[in-house]
Amino acid sequence: MQSPDPTAEDESQAVSRRIQRLSLHLTPKYPLPRNYAAQQLELVECASKAAKLTVDTSSLSNYMRGKHREIQDRVLDYFNKQPELQTPVEILKDDHRELCMKQLVGLVKEAGIRPFRYVVDDPAKYFAILEAVGSVDMSLGIKMGVQYSLWGGSVLNLGTKKHKDKYFDGIDNMEYPGCFAMTELHHGSNVQGLQTEATFDPLTDDFIIDTPNDGAIKWWIGNAAVHGKFATVFAKLMLPTHDTKGITDMGVHAFIVPIRDFKTHQTLPGIEIHDCGHKVGLNGVDNGALRFCSVRIPRDNLLNRFGDVSRDGKYTSSLPSINKRFAATLGELVGGRVGLAYSSVSVLKIAATIAIRYSLLRQQFGPPKQPEVSILDYQSQQHKLMPMLASTYAFHFATLHLVEKYSEMKKSHDEQLVGDVHSLSAGLKAYVTAYTAKSLSICRESCGGHGYAAVNRFGSLRNDHDIFQTFEGDNTVLLQQVAGDLLKQYKEKFQGGTLTVTWNYLRESMNSYLSQPNPVTARWESEDHLRDPKFQLDAFRYRTSRLLQSVAVRLRKHSKTLGSFGAWNQCLNHLLTLAESHIESVILAKFVEAVQKCPDPSSRAALKLVCDLYALERIWKDIGTYRNVDYVAPNKAKAIHKLMEYLSFQVRNIARELVDTFDIPDYVTRAPIAMQSDAYSHYTHYVGF
């Protein structure tokens, strides 16, 4: 019997696929609504004919905000009832600083909310308060963070019982306003390169704090210019020795240094304080510069959890090296990054709420002889705002997970968990703050000329948030830390080591990468397949694993000729892309998990829709990578794009409910164009009509 001709069989299958594809053009899966002309708005096919989801905003909001909703509502209610404490649109720098201090003191003493009590014992509650406070005024959120998370947190996390007993109450009730003096004029990210010195004097049992040169001046120190009375100063601990050196550098340690007289508030002898002046944003925070000239402090002012000096000048530590002590010190200060990632999501929620409410209200153009339509019905506006809304939800659950991990770390002090949180906080802080910064400009542009009015908040949000990309670790530096940890885990994987929780997926996906993409699944185009979380997670993780393996090969190759530093620099952009890809994988995994855990069916359906949009939009953004390795066939790529646009329109249909779920009061958005009712009358009233 003659065997069938395989070429003819392939041609027959190709013809069948072509006919099927042409039939879809003639009878599209999602036909356009009949009452719309083809030239109308370039709306996505057919989402308007699909059944609109019913979203129970109360149920979804309860699920999103969780058990700390009550404390947040207390914060928001307090400021709602105190209009004199609400930051006006136009305010001078000095007035803003004083208002910010009044806001924080009022919150503590009048509203009875004591954030400091939760910094260690219940970090999730502390960050919930920080989110609410920052939504009232970002300067207030940062000032609170300086007082409690940085100055207060350094005492709690780096000090011992004697320090907590002496300073806790004063920090808690705002009697001891303080600073966190780490950054210097010449050193920010490179903390081990700090030059300020703390030399022990065994004759007087004192440390002598000195600024040896102008580059060592403490710079950008929050609370220093006006309000601070104390500073946690990071300096090299210098110990006298009896050898030829005469002195030994024991590495960077933290010291409590009084900077102003407690009664007169005058600067203390040996200390110079200068005002850093008007900034791009956050002008309610009084940033200053500090110089020390032979300032003596008692030996007990060394925050000695990780290293101590005895009366006779001997150094002791439970950690064997400078690098170990340095890592332990910075590990305890990771809460600042956690807070910034969490707060950045809050900023994104506010901006998205303003832009989406306006876009639903604003009407421009339409079919001939028919009413104008909402600008959110334009595909271009949906393309700007709907994936952003999906990302806001994704970031919410990812940073919530980070807070939970951080809280667990503070209770257990597990070494492996400390490393996991350190890397996860670095990655999420870098990724989320960079995304929010870009999104703030997109939101402003999406609201046209009205978005340029200061009263509608985009300008202040953008300016205040911009520095989030720099402080608590420059984003580019933080992403390199993530990439470094990934490479370390990659090495562990091939040496049979145990991977930490956040990196577990690497074991399976690396094995998957080292084999060729499945030519069958690469061509699957069905909606069920594309909306399957397994496909989405596999795609994200495949990309990360591919980037990880390829950069490891490149580093090995370049290190032979350039050395380790040169090789790293040669591969730097590749490393940054790897870190971002990994963080996106973590974000999606947490979003999928949150969808599955949601108890209310209608809320779960809404979250699933939003999660699918987030996943497919990210895959489409990097579709070139998937196409280059045949992970996604051409027809599948088209199907992803088509489904993404369909989901975007579906999300548009429930956009009002999705932003209302954030539960942001009108006085917090403070944008007349985003008021829940009769926005235009609010706007015209503001300008004097």
CA 575, 578, 584, 585 torsion: positive or negative? negative
| CA count, 13 A, side-chain hemisphere, 571 | 26
Residue partners of 592: CB distance under 8 A and separation at least 6: 533, 536, 537, 611
d(CA 265, CA 286): 15
d(CA 265, CA 287): 17
DSSP-assigned letters across all residues of 205-217: TEEEEE--SGGGS
Tokens of 54: 């019913």
Amino acid symbol at 123: P
Number of other residues whose CB lies within 10 A of the CB of residue 292: 26
Whether 385 and 355 have beta carbons less than 8 Å apart is answered as yes
Whether 235 and 252 have beta carbons less than 8 Å apart is answered as yes
d(CA 459, CA 365): 27
Active-site residue, selected from the candidate residues 131, 184, 472, 657: 472
CA of residue 407 relative to chain centroid, distance: 17
Consult the annotation and say whether 183 binds a ligand. yes
d(CA 686, CA 689): 7
d(CA 156, CA 119): 9
> With left for phi above 0 and alpha for psi between -120 and 50, is residue 265 left, alpha or beta?
left
Antiparallel, parallel or unpaired: β 288-292 and 218-221: antiparallel
Beta-bridge mates of residue 207: 200, 297
| Secondary structure element (H or E) that encloses residue 250, with its range | strand 247-258
Active site residue 472: yes
d(CA 406, CA 200): 35
Binding residue positions for FAD: 183, 222
Positions marked active-site: 472
